[in-house]
């Protein structure tokens, strides 16, 4: 079983890795279960690091906590500490939260813990010192917004890469070329049509197909993140709103 592959099916890849881990921990599990569980845990960590490191770094930077440690140190400390807890992902699964909120909350607790430890050390060295280390509500909101912007952009970029691969496999890479020329390069449909030797209406339909496929890929990723079917459309709208607002 390839635990480091991200399928685009509706079944959640994360859930599959958690099932492997749970099965290994049950009495009478397979002899090879511990090895499979180890691979699954490592794959989950890699998944979070690949998709969330930039977002978590943005969150840490916006909280003003760098006095307690450098951004990269705080993020790597989170990976080595709270996220290394064998129960971390199982607790997320029972929390009912989207993965991004669970990670952001966990990072917030981690940063607060680091800040408390740093404050205790400062008080031990200089008890009379009176410094304010608690982040304001406004700072917390800014940090959450920075996290969300980075997360949404990563989700859309990953969805687009998936669609690009699918178009290539189907021999429809020209659809991607139309999208890039029109949306990214800002070329009008007429100019794109002349450059590619196709009709203007073909350009319009290609952009519509690719945009729809990207939205579908975003839905797949959100399912993998634990968003229930009943909340998918709202979650998709939120992702698109955040990305569009970030580009304004």
Please give the pLDDT value at position 101.
Answer: 87
> 174 near 160, Cβ under 8 Å?
no
Neighbours of 46 (CB within 10 A): 12
Q: What is the pLDDT of residue 27?
A: 58
Contacts of 26 (CB under 8 A, 6+ apart): none
Cα distance between residue 219 and residue 162, in whole Å = 12
pLDDT given for residue 242 in this prediction = 92
Please state the pTM of the whole predicted model: 0.70
Q: For the residues of the chain, what is the DSSP string, one character each?
A: --TT----SSS-HHHHHHHHHHHHHSTT--TTHHHHHHHHHHHHHHHHHHHHHHHHHHHHHHTT-GGGS-HHHHHHHHHHTGGGSTTHHHHHHHHT--HHHHHHHHHHHHHHHHHHHHHHHHHHH-TT-----PPPHHHHHHHHHHHHHHHHHHHHHHHHHHHHHHHHHTT-HHHHHHHIIIIIS---HHHHHHHHT--HHHHHHHHHHHHHHHHHHHHHHHHHTT--GGGHHHHHHHHHHHHHHHT-
pLDDT truncated to tens, each residue of the chain (248 aa)? Answer: 333 333 333 346 788 888 888 887 665 555 456 788 888 888 889 988 988 999 999 888 876 555 556 788 889 999 999 999 888 888 888 887 888 889 988 988 888 888 777 667 666 666 554 444 444 455 567 788 888 999 999 999 999 999 999 999 999 988 999 999 998 889 999 999 999 999 999 999 999 999 999 999 999 998 888 788 888 899 999 999 999 887 55
Q: Give the pLDDT of residue 175.
A: 93
* Beta-carbon count within 10 A of 84 CB: 11
Dihedral class, residue 97 (left if φ above 0, else alpha if ψ from -120 to 50, else beta): beta
Q: Determine the Cα–Cα distance for residues 101 and 92; give it in Å rounded to an integer.
A: 10
pLDDT for 63: 60
228/239 Cα distance (integer angstroms): 15
């Amino acid at each position: 079983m390839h635990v480091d592959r991200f399928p685009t099916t509706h079944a959640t890849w994360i859930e599959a890795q958690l099932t492997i881990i749970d099965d290994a921990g049950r009495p009478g599990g397979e002899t090879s279960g511990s090895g499979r569980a180890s691979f699954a845990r490592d794959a989950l960590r890699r998944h979070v690091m690949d998709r969330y490191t930039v977002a978590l770094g943005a969150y840490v930077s916006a909280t003003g906590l760098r006095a307690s440690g450098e951004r990269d140190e705080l993020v790597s400390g989170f990976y080595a500490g709270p996220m290394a807890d064998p129960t971390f992902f199982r607790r997320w699964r029972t929390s009912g939260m989207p993965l991004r909120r669970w990670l952001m909350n966990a990072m917030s607790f981690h940063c607060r813990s680091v800040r408390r430890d740093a404050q205790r050390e400062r008080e031990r060295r200089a008890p009379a010192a009176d410094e304010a280390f608690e982040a304001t509500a406004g700072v917390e909101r800014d940090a959450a917004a920075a996290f969300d912007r980075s997360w949404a952009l990563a989700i859309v970029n990953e969805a687009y890469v998936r669609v690009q691969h699918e178009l290539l496999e189907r021999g429809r890479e020209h659809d991607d070329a139309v999208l890039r020329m029109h949306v990214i390069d800002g070329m009008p449909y007429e100019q794109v049509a002349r450059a590619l030797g196709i009709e203007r209406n073909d350009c319009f339909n290609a952009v519509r197909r690719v945009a729809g496929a990207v939205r579908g890929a975003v839905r797949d990723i959100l399912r993998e993140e634990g968003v229930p079917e009943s909340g998918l459309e709202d979650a998709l709208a939120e992702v698109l709103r955040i990305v569009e607002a970030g580009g304004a």
